[in-house]
Structure 1
Amino acid sequence: MSTRLPPLAAVRAFEAAARHLSFTRAAEELAMTQAAVSYQVKLLEERVGSPLFTRQARQVALTETGQALSTAATQAFRLLTEGFEAARTGGQATLSISTIPTFAANWLALHLGSFQIAHPSIAVRLETSTRMVDMAQENFDIGIRTGAKGEWPGLTSHMLMRAAFTPMLSPKLAESIGGVHQPADLLKLPIMDAGDPWWEIWFGAAGIDARENLAARPRSQLGSQAYEGRAAVAGVGVGILTRPLFATELADGSLIQPFDLVGDDGHVYWLVYQTQRRNTPKIRAFRDWILKEIGAATGDEATASR
């Protein structure tokens, strides 16, 4: 069987060029010249018997055959990488997760210990970022994203929790005005990130037109719920936050939720991974664990998938 395989150097050059859609960038990644990458791709095209790229003045595009081979090549190199990593670490797999900062700090970091106890042979690497990584091209096994529908090409998604929101504040800040007894009382206090659309949605659901009041306030932004929550605990102002992500602060009394009313703009926290890798053991282990853990923490069955 091995005699039927094309030269690995040719496949590697093609995979990099297909991933970047650029022979120049592939050459930079592989420490080769652009001419060498082009030569290796030509060798592979001769072996396949048809063009893999359409070449234009300053860009290349994959042909239908090239697209099919690119998917297979990327998957093969990923499997090789995982195999070498397992060999290097004595069989220990590394699960790489791309997640948004608030979910990482306020939920995942607090629960991840139980996953590592249940799966001691799997190491975890987290990257927190608000950008949407390309799961097919970047070295991540799992992603945590927010979105309304959870539909991304080539990815399987599982609903973790709804990103419903409600005002929260420190007890001391509430006491500074004699307590918060009705939604309008919140407008007597500093509002963090008054330009956040969640505020208008929540006050509207409470029957209050707060647009003029909110528009007159400073447009300070802290960048994530994690930071807004810390500021709310410190008494800086009222934050509009997602309850499951602040269960610890609500339980210990450092934050209070004065009203049961929650707003919902349709966004959901999703677990995502490449559909073609759905049976990879470390991905399956994390998926099963987090869906069960989320369900236990929120009281919901977090098993919806696409």
Structure 2
Amino acid sequence: MSRPSLYALQGFVASARHGNLSHAAQSLHLTVSALSHQIRGLEEQLGQRLFVRKARGVELTADGRRLFERVAEHLEAIEQAMRPYRARRDDVLTLTVLPSLATSWLVPRLPGFVELHPRLELNLQSTVDLVDFERDLEVDAGLRFGRGEWPGLRSVHLFDDWVTPSASPALIERLGRPTPRTLKRFPLLGSSGTWSRWFETYGGTPPQRFVANFDDSETMLRAAVEGLGIALGRSTLIRPLVKAGLLVPLFTERLKSDKAYHLVYPARSDDHAGLAAFRKWLFAEARGYAALDSAPPPP
């Protein structure tokens, strides 16, 4: 008996997993008739009936189930082994970026990059989730906020960040402007972690409770803009809000964040021409921003 074709086995496995020829054909970018032809040919070649056709799909026979158990995991292994060798386009660059960094820092600067590289297609995935570069092979690199320790990845430091208490003009008008000693009497947003470091460094004592806590920085800063309380915000995120007159830094003192921004990428992206162009531009932007951020914004 001649060996079954790999395409026929792929069609068989997809049909078994979906239990529906239409869905399986769609996943394989085939017509239903083409997939049906593959399965009939495989059944004739093996001399076994692999599926029972039902009104709403297909169901494996006992022989079909045995075949599926024997070949499915091997086809998956072949697929995983071949994924790194798929053709890569150096004129397409896919990045994963934190939403807060994308909005406040990267996107406002991107027109300059696009002007320099008009033929490079840039795809941004804005997410707080860490991408698994081993699994998500379409993603070439990412911008992350952390301590620079991501096992198995290249990690290049871009710039540090600083935090300082900031409030809306409306809150300052309503409650006045605090001093480091009176800060605890004001409505504070966040949690005890970074605020404790602030009070330890600049004096005063933290409050017994905070007005509200948030699981992401953007929402906390939005609450500060609306006058809910004082936020201990990162300079990278609050600078556009300060420039727009929506927030006011309360003190010249700042506290260096224990994390920083990094460009990260897997070894497979070392020779990506699009990433090389982006990296060169990004480092220049980061150096300029770090120099600008070396002095705190005026209160």
Structure 2 gap ranges (5+): 11-16, 19-23, 29-34, 36-63, 294-299
Residues 142-192 of structure 1 deviation map (CA, whole Å, 9 limit, x = unaligned): 2111222x1323311111222331111122312323323x21333232212
The equivalent residue for 2:149 is 151
Residues 72-92 of structure 1 deviation map (CA, whole Å, 9 limit, x = unaligned): x33212xx1x34xx8xxxxxx
Tell me if structure 2 keeps the 8 A contact 1:105–1:226. Answer: no
The separation in 1 between residues aligned to 2:260 and 2:117, in whole angstroms, is 27
Larger radius of gyration between Structure 1 and Structure 2:
2
The equivalent residue for 1:188 is 185
The separation in 2 between residues aligned to 1:196 and 1:203, in whole angstroms, is 10
Give the Å deviation of 1:265.
4.7
The equivalent residue for 1:293 is 285
The equivalent residue for 2:194 is 198
The equivalent residue for 2:158 is 160
The equivalent residue for 1:59 is none
Amino acid of the residue matched to residue 204 of structure 1?
Answer: E
The equivalent residue for 2:116 is 118
Q: Decide which of 234, 249, 261 is 1:269's aligned counterpart.
A: 261
Q: Decide which of 228, 239, 249 is 1:236's aligned counterpart.
A: 228
The separation in 2 between residues aligned to 1:177 and 1:40, in whole angstroms, is 67
The separation in 2 between residues aligned to 1:38 and 1:164, in whole angstroms, is 56
The equivalent residue for 1:62 is none
The separation in 2 between residues aligned to 1:254 and 1:234, in whole angstroms, is 9
The equivalent residue for 1:76 is 85
The separation in 1 between residues aligned to 2:209 and 2:74, in whole angstroms, is 63
* Compared CA separation, residues 208 and 281, structure 1 to 2 (3 A): same
Mapped pair 1:177 → 2:170: no
DSSP-derived class of the 1:107 partner: helix
* Compared CA separation, residues 294 and 265, structure 1 to 2 (3 A): closer
Tell me if structure 2 keeps the 8 A contact 1:186–1:238. Answer: no
Amino acid of the residue matched to residue 98 of structure 2?
Answer: I
- The 5-angstrom pairing of residues 80-119 of structure 1 reads 80=87, 82-83=88-89, 93-119=91-117
DSSP-derived class of the 1:289 partner: helix
Amino acid of the residue matched to residue 213 of structure 2?
Answer: S
Q: Decide which of 204, 207, 216 is 1:208's aligned counterpart.
A: 204
* Compared CA separation, residues 220 and 266, structure 1 to 2 (3 A): closer
The equivalent residue for 2:56 is none
TM-score relative to the length of structure 1 = 0.67
Structure 1 gap ranges (5+): 1-7, 14-23, 45-51, 53-65, 87-92, 302-306
The equivalent residue for 1:61 is none
Tell me if structure 1 keeps the 8 A contact 2:182–2:204. Answer: no
The separation in 1 between residues aligned to 2:192 and 2:103, in whole angstroms, is 21
Structure having the higher strand fraction is 2
Tell me if structure 2 keeps the 8 A contact 1:192–1:220. Answer: yes
Amino acid of the residue matched to residue 165 of structure 2?
Answer: P
DSSP-derived class of the 1:179 partner: coil
* Compared CA separation, residues 262 and 30, structure 1 to 2 (3 A): same
The equivalent residue for 1:258 is 250
The separation in 2 between residues aligned to 1:104 and 1:119, in whole angstroms, is 19
Give the Å deviation of 1:141.
1.2
Amino acid of the residue matched to residue 85 of structure 2?
Answer: A
Residues 265-297 of structure 1 deviation map (CA, whole Å, 9 limit, x = unaligned): 521111111123112011111111111112112
Aligned pairs, how many? 242
Residues 33-90 of structure 1 deviation map (CA, whole Å, 9 limit, x = unaligned): 984695487699xxxxxxx8xxxxxxxxxxxxx9xx967x33212xx1x34xx8xxxx
Tell me if structure 1 keeps the 8 A contact 2:184–2:205. Answer: no
The separation in 1 between residues aligned to 2:192 and 2:83, in whole angstroms, is 40
Amino acid of the residue matched to residue 205 of structure 1?
Answer: T
* Compared CA separation, residues 9 and 98, structure 1 to 2 (3 A): farther
* Compared CA separation, residues 177 and 115, structure 1 to 2 (3 A): same
DSSP-derived class of the 1:247 partner: helix
- The 5-angstrom pairing of residues 45-64 of structure 1 reads none
The separation in 2 between residues aligned to 1:108 and 1:167, in whole angstroms, is 23
TM-score relative to the length of structure 2 = 0.68
The separation in 2 between residues aligned to 1:269 and 1:137, in whole angstroms, is 23
Tell me if structure 2 keeps the 8 A contact 1:191–1:237. Answer: yes
